[in-house]
Structure 1
Amino acid sequence: MSESPNPLLRATDPPDDFEPGRAGRRRSGGRAWQVLIGGTAVLVLLALGGLAVATLLEDKTSTPPAALPSDQPVVEQSAAANGHDIDSRDTDQSALTVKEVFPNKQLVADDGRPAYQVLKTQAGTDCTAAATGEIGDLLARLGCNQVVRATLRSPDGDHLLTAGLFNLTDAASAQRARDRIRQLLDDRQGRFQGLSAGDGTDAVTTAAARVGWQVRGHYIAYCLVTRADGEQISSSDAKTREILYDMIESYLNRGVLERRANGGVASQPTASPTESTASQSATNGRNSSGN
């Protein structure tokens, strides 16, 4: 896995880590991200962009925050001279395609790592297909005109996940969506929606899950992870944390979006990470807003 700064984590149900335990192999030149982990999990906001992670579980607790040490600086990433600006659709006009985001039936997040099996892909202009309730409405209001997503099976076969990219108008719109999503999840007024890939994959649309989202430029990268057997996912499930990091940071950020930006370079360290929390429950027969 690529080397990346260890984020500062805060847990609300119960203390949890987003750190997948391979910080030594992360690249130090990555863009800073803010990570949010919701009510029953951990939300981390890195100083630039934003990676949020929430747990889709039923109950909330008030477990005191917990922090992990950070042994590397958070760095900001900008476009190189031969790249192009992905902060706005005005300067990044080409639409995403399935071929660009999920080109193969096997997805490798980092060289030498086991492959994820890509079960189904989808590209569309209706962002509410991938985010329901008030979250879907919010994305539409802020100019989301495209979502490209896929449902995958983890290398060990124990987890199903849906991951993808939302295409918003500009970086400011993406950041506003990121900040508002936190509260909507807390209030259970919407959810990220998994993509069913046929028999044996219903869990990705209905089961308790953990979901992460991250902003880079005018894109929101996201991933939700469920157990393949539909059982409630454990807040201490290290494999889930690893999957979220693989898909959002290593693959979508440093893979797909880095290629699109065409050669980002690291600049000076930014301010220290900040923290927040959000929550979202499984559907369990509820409506699309989670009520």
Structure 2
Amino acid sequence: MVYRYESDEDAFEEYPEPGSDLSVFGAGPPPPAGPSPSRFPAPSLPRPNQLSLPSTQPPPTRAEVAPPTRVDVPSAASRSQVYTSATAMEPSSRRGGGRLWQVLVGGAAVLVLLALCGLGAAALIDRNEQPAAGPTSPPTAAPTSAAPERLALDSRESDRAPLSAKELFPGKELTLTAGQPSYQVLKTQSSGSCAVAATGEVADLLALLGCNQVVRATLRTPKGDHLVTAGLFNLTDKVSAERARDRIRPLLDERKGRFRGLAAGDGTDVLSSAPARVGWQVRGHYVAYALVVREDGATIKAGDATVREILFDMIELHLSRGVLQQRAEGGTAAQPTPETSASGDDGDLPGE
């Protein structure tokens, strides 16, 4: 759709009435065709090259007409029958009108040209009057701090730094949630032999899959009615850690081995003799595990909510989201978020 703007200023009358403001020179109807009547009466004398011919006879041919030798003055009755052999020129009145129209069009074109020249000159003057802008300095990019490079935990090739007891259990107390009671750290241990933390075919399996280090500690729960030994096994790569995870469960069910608790004195011997609940989980090339017993040595019932909460605190919150997350992020990460999780397993262990 095309819109056209019209206003009263653009209106015009093609044939204005006489006496109106729009009756200007050249705006009336076009002059009639043919020669216009002269403003002054023409003389009654004939022209030398005109011939008087009778109106009742056809004009003679060129062969019949002899060139005139004398010019005769025709009578008044034959003046209307005059023919001319030369081409008649345009009347002076029409020639003058065409010339005046050309003058008007040329004048309008000159005015338009002068107006355009004036606008161009004004633009140049305005541009010259504006102060010259000084050299602009290139924008400087805001310094951005490089994001810390994440450490791949899929194998010892990329994660070569060994574990340490200080990395896993830096103090005498372990607080997992702000405002909540802390676990009391009773004893820590770091060993290059994974057999110190397992027995039977479980220890053999860990050694076969390349386990070269175990770091663990014994802690007392905030309520003081449970003891827990928790730690990390350092295996060759993620594949070997996942194989260990899948094989541990049937070995425990068949009583072919078990995880060992770490006695820390002061009534903690039940860690090696009382029935226990154990859980484990894989992250990268590590196997995280925890073993829980009642401090009084009593049997733990299946589905005990308190024991499950202890296993979750040690394996998921502390070892996976805390220790290993900080290791993957170069030790700069804060407390891990609850969204991160990994699959784990648990089972009952009979006392020795």
Relative to the length of structure 2, the TM-score reads 0.54
Q: Could you tell me which residue of structure 2 aligns to residue 281 of structure 1? A: 349
Going by fraction, where is helix more abundant, 1 or 2? 2
**One-letter amino acid of the counterpart of residue 108, structure 1:** T
SS in 1 for 2:311: helix
Q: CA deviation at 1:206?
A: 1.4
Q: CA deviation at 1:138?
A: 0.2
The 1:164/1:241 distance shift into structure 2, 3 A limit, reads same
- Aligned with 2:194 (options 127, 131, 137): 127
- Aligned with 1:208 (options 275, 278, 282): 275
Q: Could you tell me which residue of structure 2 aligns to residue 149 of structure 1? A: 216
- Aligned with 1:224 (options 272, 287, 291): 291
The 1:107/1:274 distance shift into structure 2, 3 A limit, reads closer
Relative to the length of structure 1, the TM-score reads 0.64
Q: Could you tell me which residue of structure 1 aligns to residue 156 of structure 2? A: 89
Unaligned runs of 5+ in 2: 1-146
Q: Counterparts of 2:343 and 2:193 in 1: how far apart (Å)? A: 32
**Contact 2:278 2:346 (C-alpha < 8 Å) held by counterparts:** no
Q: How does 1:18-167 map to 2 (within 5 A)?
A: 82-167=149-234
Deviations 1:47-74 (A, max 9, x none): xxxxxxxxxxxxxxxxxxxxxxxxxxxx
**Contact 1:223 1:247 (C-alpha < 8 Å) held by counterparts:** yes
Q: Counterparts of 2:163 and 2:178 in 1: how far apart (Å)? A: 24
Q: Could you tell me which residue of structure 2 aligns to residue 17 of structure 1? A: none
- Aligned with 1:169 (options 198, 220, 236): 236
Q: Counterparts of 1:279 and 1:223 in 2: how far apart (Å)? A: 11
Q: Counterparts of 1:153 and 1:279 in 2: how far apart (Å)? A: 20
SS in 2 for 1:185: helix
Q: Counterparts of 1:124 and 1:281 in 2: how far apart (Å)? A: 23
Deviations 1:102-160 (A, max 9, x none): 11000112222210000000000110110111001000010000000000000000000
**Contact 1:164 1:223 (C-alpha < 8 Å) held by counterparts:** yes
4+ residue segments displaced more than 3 Å: 263-266, 277-281
Q: Counterparts of 1:232 and 1:218 in 2: how far apart (Å)? A: 33
SS in 2 for 1:242: helix
The 1:247/1:179 distance shift into structure 2, 3 A limit, reads same
Unaligned runs of 5+ in 1: 1-79, 285-291
SS in 2 for 1:104: coil
**Contact 1:133 1:190 (C-alpha < 8 Å) held by counterparts:** yes
Q: Counterparts of 2:347 and 2:225 in 1: how far apart (Å)? A: 23
**Contact 1:191 1:280 (C-alpha < 8 Å) held by counterparts:** no
**One-letter amino acid of the counterpart of residue 160, structure 1:** L
**Number of corresponding residues:** 201
Q: Could you tell me which residue of structure 2 aligns to residue 198 of structure 1? A: 265
**Contact 1:116 1:154 (C-alpha < 8 Å) held by counterparts:** yes
Q: Counterparts of 1:144 and 1:214 in 2: how far apart (Å)? A: 15
Q: What is the identity percentage for the equivalent residue pairs of Structure 1 and Structure 2?
A: 59
Q: Could you tell me which residue of structure 2 aligns to residue 8 of structure 1? A: none
Larger Rg computed on CA atoms: 2
**One-letter amino acid of the counterpart of residue 171, structure 2:** N
**One-letter amino acid of the counterpart of residue 174, structure 2:** L
Q: Counterparts of 1:183 and 1:278 in 2: how far apart (Å)? A: 11
